[in-house]
A and B are shown apart, each in its own frame.
Chain A
Amino acid sequence: AQTVTQSQPEMSVQEAETVTLSCTYDTSESNYYLFWYKQPPSRQMILVIRQEAYKQQNATENRFSVNFQKAAKSFSLKISDSQLGDTAMYFCAFMKVDDYKLSFGAGTTVTVRA
């Protein structure tokens, strides 16, 4: 079974600054997908970014980027130019290729201060 660990329960960042969320995972698979989901107070689960393990290039979506270190089994999320609307819980998740089960970490609560 895959385990996903998010070691930071809470993070606080000033508006317009940068925050980095850590995520590590444990797997014996060589190919898989990694995701970051955002869950604002509305409770909706929003896909922020996705990374395929076979791709060396780090995924980027506007102000969100990842640092994928396959050998270290690390998948951190960087939020640049933080905005108040980024306040949410962020979940790291893992999925094997050709599978359908997502394994989630426990989440990191990010608070953006004005």
Chain B
Amino acid sequence: NAGVMQNPRHLVRRRGQEARLRCSPMKGHSHVYWYRQLPEEGLKFMVYLQKENIIDESGMPKERFSAEFPKEGPSILRIQQVVRGDSAAYFCASSPPGFSPLHFGNGTRLTVT
């Protein structure tokens, strides 16, 4: 049973470009969560999605950031017009219904140059 798969592992973007981060949840998991880890900090909640629905995006910056979890395919975290402050590790986690302990992926490290 494969774990939570995130790709790419590393992503480098120039300021102003778009970043697309992908997450495939564990088999049987219908809930996806995105967290951001800034350098020397713990993870901070960004957004919670179920298939085709955004349940809670209270941790997402109001501009440039969006997330989706389509009926088919992985969840996507999209950052438009990236800035240096977006440089961080972005983690995806998944769970089955019932909010049992989250299973995390290995993260995507985004570097904005």
Contact = CB atoms under 8 A, between A and B. Distances in A.
A binds B: yes
Interface of A: 4, 35, 37, 42-47, 50, 91, 93, 95, 98-107
18 contacts: A42-B106, A45-B43, A45-B93, A47-B101, A47-B103, A50-B101, A99-B99, A100-B56, A101-B45, A101-B59, A102-B45, A103-B45, A104-B43, A104-B44, A106-B40, A106-B41, A107-B40, A107-B41
Nearest to A46: B104
Contacts of A50: 101
A43 B109 contact: yes
B12 interface: no
- Chain B at the A interface: SS class: strand
Given A44-B106, A45-B91, A100 B101 contact: no
Contacts of B41: 106-107
A102 B43 contact: yes
B42 A91 contact: yes
A93 B95 CA distance: 16
A95 B59 CA distance: 15
B22 interface: no
Interface in B84-113: 89, 91, 93, 95, 99, 101-107, 109
A105 B42 contact: yes
Nearest to B89: A43
